[in-house]
């Protein structure tokens, strides 16, 4: 930066020395060094103070310089009238603003404003030449010589791009001429050391990146390509946009910098291929007028299939051509500064006609081009053959070439004229009230700087800080949609607006015409959006917008698209099948109403009734040999306990309660212990009875009923003690099981102390094992007294059931666990009933002839 400023200083010093030498030669009568005027027509409207307007109309496709005479030759200049027609509104805006101010009795009274139009054809060389012409006045263009200005021209408006403004500023800055640049805001021009006399009328675009992100978020565009101008303004916009996009989860697919002029075809191919090969469907283009013009020509030559363009109003391609319609840009969205409509401009256009002002060369040229006719025999632009109609007016000009509303850069020009007028007005009020003294003041341009800095461009109020108030920040942007129609017709339609600072965006999607490749709103994402039920999983080495979708784990959901993390459902809810919402869990238990509960309850009642029936049979046939031989009192106790065992399973069915939880396990344990103790007593009785048949055996005393009753009581008492310890330490309790079943909350009984519970079961198993062992050893005793075989089978069934129950009980949860225990109770009880009493009932009921003492003795002594 330091070397650049030093270079600028020495270049200005060199120019001043050359101009001074040239002027000295002119005074001495020697042939002066001067510029012969080329094709640079001007138009001036006289006034007390004259505004120099350096504007751009048409484009010179060829411009050659005569090295010998240092002139621009008219015969070597070709004007292409097809381009930049819409910028004629800039000329009309100056005329309208000046006329409006001259008619205003409160602004600059007794002072008449004039203007001088100079066309630079959007060429840097002609911008410099126009500056020299404006400084020198009529006659030869002599450097450092001002003959005809007479201090009337004190301010300049121009140019349309940063390069034109810089080229003019290097020359005008030598004379401290205030220069109002109406093009887009450029950071380079804001350098007060290099360009101290340049006032930028364009917006700083400090919130454009916010507006762009708001639009991307609205349409869900998270994968966007970016093309920026290769300058400081483009880099600043890139940094701001990238930061805001990252903050909102939007990624840049690529970033390309476009030069103001493509030097090689390789550069064009690189940019074009980067756009075409990118997976991004949306491309945002930002830059200055020159770089965007280059891109416009490139993209107009090569159609972009499957791409949606977003840009700003700086890319004014909608009216650059008369004969070529840029259909490739159909559907493009543009951000345009929100401007107020200037009343009276439409009426002003209806009053403008070139025959009323024949000296206005620019108006005549524009008229002949847009109406394709000649106003006189000598046409300024030789493209037409027919004479123009007398009743033609600007109201008939297509919207492509002339907008009836002051917009874009025209609005900047309008503000610039008023900025100068208000500054001049404040100067008159402060320093002098004599207009002649003001005009004659050679330092008028110099003094004007202070007042330009102290005036607001919108309302003309004074700024106490006296800073550079000319650079406005646009708080609202219009969203325009470029539409191209058959028949060489195109239009820009406002479809919405955005207020970036307030994050407010309103847009009418029905009014938007999308590019032909998109029948509906384009989608531009690196990865397909994760639907609810899935979460995003980042890919290593990829931007955050590129990801995989992973199904939420069990118990978790995601209820929105592109969820970063899954959320866990509350304990009383469970995920839906799609894992996109939580559903309330149903409170459940093994109820009588459901099928399983109904089957188990019916089985328990049926077996209990069957057991009662067997008991009745035994009571009715209590005096028969087979009943007496098998110890009928113990059979009664066993049958009664088995009937209660079947009924105890009903305590496990139905909605659990705290009392139910305490009673069901203890009741089952005690009743089952009585049944097993009765079987043990039966087994011991059989063994002792067989061995007590020997004369003088002391075992006969153990055959008394009291011994069997004592054994049953003792075994039951031990079990009752274990249950008492269980209930006294850590008894069963009611709990809500929310984990066993995914969609249900199971109301169940927690067994409390598992150690005591397994001790109770183990004690019953111990009694059953002892009974099984004794019965197995006594299985070969004479059949007359022996039921050991049946006892063996019954205990084998019992042990098999409960040994299988233990692992099944551990592996199941909820209702299934309760059903498993009921099933074990019923099966083990039914096994005992069947194995022990089924053969006896068969003999009693169906083979009564075998139920005699004689037959039994014959079996005992074959």
* Residue from 160, 114, 192, 159 nearest 417 by CA: 114
229-246 as b/e: b if 16+ CB within 10 A: bebebbebbbebbbebbe
369-387 as b/e: b if 16+ CB within 10 A: bbbebbbeeeebeeeeeee
pLDDT at residue number 11: 43
* Residue from 721, 308, 774 nearest 520 by CA: 308
Q: How far is CA 828 from the centre of its chain?
A: 63
Which residue has 């328990």 as its token pair?
604
C-alpha span between 75 and 38 (Å, rounded): 9
3-state secondary structure of 227: strand
* DSSP, residue by residue, 606-628: HHHHHHHHHHHHHHHTTTSHHHH
pLDDT at residue number 297: 75
Ordered mean pLDDT values, 10 residues apiece, the chain (862 residues): 41 41 41 51 86 82 40 42 74 94 91 90 84 73 54 83 89 90 86 90 84 94 91 88 92 88 75 88 86 76 86 64 60 82 86 84 84 74 69 78 80 92 86 62 77 62 39 69 76 89 91 91 90 90 89 91 90 90 90 90 93 89 77 86 91 89 89 89 75 57 74 91 90 85 85 87 88 78 62 83 81 83 90 85 77 53 46
Q: What predicted TM-score, i.e. pTM, was given to this entire model?
A: 0.66
Q: Helix H segments across 321-434?
A: 345-350, 361-371, 409-430
Find the largest Cα–Cα distance for the chain. Answer: 174
CA separation (Å) from 146 to 134, 136, 138, 152, 836? 9, 4, 9, 11, 137
CA separation (Å) from 719 to 33, 161, 308, 673, 830? 131, 103, 84, 7, 22
3-state secondary structure of 648: helix
pLDDT at residue number 627: 77
**Cα distance from N-terminal residue to C-terminal residue, the chain:** 130
């Amino acid at each position: 930066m330091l070397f650049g400023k030093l270079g600028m200083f020495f270049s200005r010093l060199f120019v001043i020395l050359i101009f001074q030498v040239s002027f000295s030669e002119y005074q001495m009568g020697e042939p002066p060094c001067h510029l012969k005027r080329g094709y640079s027509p001007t138009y001036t409207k006289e006034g007390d103070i004259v505004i120099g307007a350096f504007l751009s109309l048409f484009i010179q496709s060829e411009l050659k310089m005569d090295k010998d005479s240092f002139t621009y030759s008219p015969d070597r200049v070709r004007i292409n009238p097809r381009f930049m027609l819409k910028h004629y509104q800039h000329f009309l805006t100056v005329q309208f603003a000046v006329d409006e101010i001259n008619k205003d009795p409160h602004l600059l009274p007794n002072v008449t404003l004039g203007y001088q139009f100079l066309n630079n054809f959007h060429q840097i060389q002609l911008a410099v030449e126009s500056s020299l012409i404006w400084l020198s006045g009529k006659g030869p263009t002599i450097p450092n010589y001002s003959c005809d200005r007479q201090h009337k021209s004190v301010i300049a408006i121009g140019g349309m791009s940063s390069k034109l403004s810089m080229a003019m500023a290097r020359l005008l800055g030598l004379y401290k001429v205030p220069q109002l640049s109406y093009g887009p805001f450029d950071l380079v021009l804001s350098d007060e050391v290099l360009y101290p006399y340049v006032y930028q009328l364009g917006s700083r675009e400090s919130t454009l990146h916010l507006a762009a992100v708001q639009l991307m978020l609205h349409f869900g565009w998270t994968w966007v390509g970016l093309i920026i101008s290769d300058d400081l303004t483009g880099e600043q916009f890139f940094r701001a946009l990238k930061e805001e996009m990252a903050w909102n989860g939007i990624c840049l697919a690529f970033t390309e910098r476009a030069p103001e002029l493509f030097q090689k075809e390789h550069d064009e191919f690189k940019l074009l291929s980067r756009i075409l090969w990118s997976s991004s469907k949306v491309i945002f283009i930002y830059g200055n007028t020159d770089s965007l013009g280059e891109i416009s020509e490139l993209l107009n030559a090569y159609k972009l299939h499957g791409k949606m363009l977003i840009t700003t109003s700086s890319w004014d391609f909608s009216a650059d051509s008369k004969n070529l319609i840029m259909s490739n840009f159909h559907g493009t969205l543009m951000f345009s500064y929100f401007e107020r409509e200037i009343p009276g401009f439409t009426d002003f256009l209806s009053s403008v006609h070139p025959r009323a002002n024949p000296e206005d060369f620019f108006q005549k040229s524009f008229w002949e081009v847009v109406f394709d006719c000649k106003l006189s025999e000598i046409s300024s632009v030789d493209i037409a053959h027919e004479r123009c109609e007398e009743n033609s007016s600007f109201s008939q000009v297509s919207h492509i070439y002339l907008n009836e509303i002051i917009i874009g850069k025209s609005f900047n020009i309008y503000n610039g004229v008023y900025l100068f007028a208000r500054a001049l007005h404040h100067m008159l009020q402060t320093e002098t009230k004599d207009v002649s003294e003001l005009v004659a003041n050679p330092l008028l341009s110099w003094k004007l700087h202070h007042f330009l800095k102290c005036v607001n461009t919108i309302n003309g109020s004074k700024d106490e800080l006296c800073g550079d108030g000319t650079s406005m920040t646009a708080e609202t942007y219009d969203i325009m949609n470029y539409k191209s129609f058959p028949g060489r017709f195109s239009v820009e339609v406002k479809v919405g607006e955005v207020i970036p600072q307030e994050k407010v965006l309103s847009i009418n999607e029905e009014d938007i015409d999308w590019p032909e490749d998109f029948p509906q709103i384009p989608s531009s994402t690196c990865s397909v959006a994760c639907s609810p039920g899935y979460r995003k999983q980042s890919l290593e080495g990829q931007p955050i917008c590129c990801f995989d979708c992973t199904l939420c784990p069990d118990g978790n959901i995601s209820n929105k698209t592109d969820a970063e993390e899954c959320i866990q459902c509350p304990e009383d809810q469970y995920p839906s099948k799609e894992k996109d919402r939580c559903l309330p869990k149903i409170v459940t238990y093994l109820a009588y109403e459901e099928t399983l509960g109904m089957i188990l309850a019916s089985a328990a009642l049926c077996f209990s009734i069957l057991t009662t029936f067997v008991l009745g049979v035994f009571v009715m046939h209590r005096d028969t040999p087979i009943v007496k031989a098998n110890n009928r009192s113990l059979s009664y106790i066993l049958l009664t306990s088995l009937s209660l065992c079947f009924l105890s399973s009903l305590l496990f069915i139905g909605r659990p309660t705290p009392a139910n939880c305490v009673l069901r396990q203890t009741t089952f344990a005690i009743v089952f212990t009585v049944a097993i103790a009765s079987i043990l007593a039966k087994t011991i009785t059989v063994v002792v009875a067989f061995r007590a048949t020997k004369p003088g055996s002391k075992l006969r005393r153990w055959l008394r009923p009291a011994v069997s009753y004592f054994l049953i009581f003792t075994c039951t008492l031990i079990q009752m003690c274990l249950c008492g310890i269980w209930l006294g330490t850590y008894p069963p309790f009611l709990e809500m099981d929310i984990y066993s079943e995914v969609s249900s909350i199971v109301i169940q009984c927690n067994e409390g102390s598992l150690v005591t519970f397994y001790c109770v079961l183990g004690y019953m198993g111990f009694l059953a094992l002892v009974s099984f062992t004794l019965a197995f050893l006594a299985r070969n005793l004479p059949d007359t007294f022996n039921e050991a075989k049946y006892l063996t089978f019954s205990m084998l069934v019992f042990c098999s059931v409960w040994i299988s129950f233990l692992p099944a009980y551990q592996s199941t949860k909820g209702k299934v666990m309760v059903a498993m225990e009921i099933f074990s109770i019923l099966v083990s009880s039914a096994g005992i009933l069947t194995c022990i009493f089924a053969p006896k009932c068969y003999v009693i009921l169906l083979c009564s002839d075998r139920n005699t003492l004689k037959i039994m003795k014959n079996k005992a002594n074959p």
